[in-house]
Amino acid sequence: MKNIILIGFMGVGKGSVAREVSLHSEYIAIDTDDLIESMENKKIKNIFADNGEEYFRQLEKNIAKWLEKSVKNTLISTGGGFYKQDNLKKIGIIVLLDSPFDAIIARIKKHPNAVKKLKKRPLLKDLEKAKILYDERRPAYLKLANIVINVTEKSPQDCAKELLKKVKKHV
């Protein structure tokens, strides 16, 4: 079992899909944002506000080095900017959760905790800027991915099933 790294834009559902995969497989799920929050004992939005984005990116770099060296057989969900780490391919199989920008925003907005979900993501504060970021990142996500899953209008359960099937074929 190789590591699986889930990449994709903010709000696409990496956390929900990771939970489903770990429920239906032997993979234990970890999340780079959760690791950073517990390392710093601080919420991501406060790290951005107090220390700045560059500091946060350095923490992501440290996590990426640790993942490569020390983590095996694990499902790793990542923050939307984690794909920039240059050792991603060495960490594991890269799975992109893909969806159009408008569908991602619609997905967040219909969630019962929509306000919280938007607030906790500093880079989603301004939707016009977020769309620019999405357009910049999507080609890079697609280029990196070993496996692409279109998650639009699909439940996390169905995405998880599709992921496990495709990973099995890939290895």
From residue 137, alpha-carbon distances to 115, 120, 127, 149, 156 in Å are 24, 20, 15, 16, 23
Report DSSP state, residue 152: T
From residue 133, alpha-carbon distances to 10, 12, 74, 101, 138 in Å are 10, 14, 28, 10, 9
Among 121, 134, 145, 160, binds ligand S3P (CB under 6 A): 121
> Site for ligand S3P (CB under 6 A): how many residues?
11
Shortest reach from residue 84's CB to ligand S3P, in Å: 9
Q: Which is nearer to ligand S3P, 34 or 68 (CB)?
A: 34
Q: With binding defined as CB under 6 A, does residue 80 bind ligand S3P?
A: yes
Q: With binding defined as CB under 6 A, does residue 13 bind ligand S3P?
A: no
Among 10, 18, 94, 96, binds ligand S3P (CB under 6 A): 10
Beta-strand relationship, 93-98 and 74-77:
unpaired
Q: Closest residue to ligand S3P, Cβ-based?
A: 79
CA gap 157, 95 in Å, rounded: 16
- Per CB under 6 A, the segment of 16-24, 76-84, 144-152, 161-169 that binds ligand S3P is 76-84
Among 44, 59, 104, 163, binds ligand S3P (CB under 6 A): 44
Shortest reach from residue 79's CB to ligand S3P, in Å: 2
CA gap 130, 167 in Å, rounded: 30
The tokens of 67 are what? 């993942």
The residues that touch ligand S3P, with contacts defined as CB under 6 A, are: 10-11, 14, 33, 44, 79-81, 121-123
